Amino acid sequence: MGERERARTGAVRDAATLTQLDAVSAQLTDDQARLFGDLDREHERIHRPAPASTGQVVTTSHAPVAPERPRKVRELQRSTAFLPKTLHSEAEIDAYLAEARKRLVSELSHNDAIKLN
C-alpha cells in the first residue's frame, strides 16, 4: 500500500464528522480523475501513429508550417455539471437539464472540449 493510500485510510479511520468523510470522498474523486487522465494520455501516446519514414531525405522550399496548438480540454466533474437534486415532474426535469446544458455550454465556450469525469 502506497503512502497516499495509507493517508486516505488514516483520514477515513480518524474522521470524526461527516464533513471530514466528505472531504476524503472529494479527494478520492480527484485522485480517480487524475488517474483516468494519466491513463488516457498514456493510451494516446502509445497509440499515436509513428511518422512515415521512407529512408530518403526530401527538401522543400515551402514556408514552415506553424505547429498546431494543443487542444484545451477542460476536465469537469459530473457532480459539477449535474448538481444533486430531487425532481418531481417533467417540467422540473426540463428546467434541470436546461441549467446543466447552460453550465456545459459555458465551459465549452472557453475550451476546445469538455471531458466529464
Whole-model pTM over 0.85: no
Is 25's pLDDT higher than 90?
Answer: no
| Residue 99: HSE in the Cβ half-sphere, 13 Å Cα cutoff | 12
Mean pLDDT on 7-14:
85
74 DSSP β-pair partners: 114
Is 66's pLDDT higher than 80?
Answer: no
Confidence grade of residue 54 (pLDDT, cut at 50, 70, 90): low
Mean pLDDT on 31-42:
88
Mean pLDDT on 52-66:
71
Q: What is the pLDDT of residue 31?
A: 84
115 DSSP β-pair partners: 75
Sign of CA dihedral 17, 32, 30, 78: negative
Residue 52 CA to residue 60 CA, distance in Å, equals: 17
Confidence grade of residue 32 (pLDDT, cut at 50, 70, 90): confident
Q: What is the pLDDT of residue 1?
A: 61
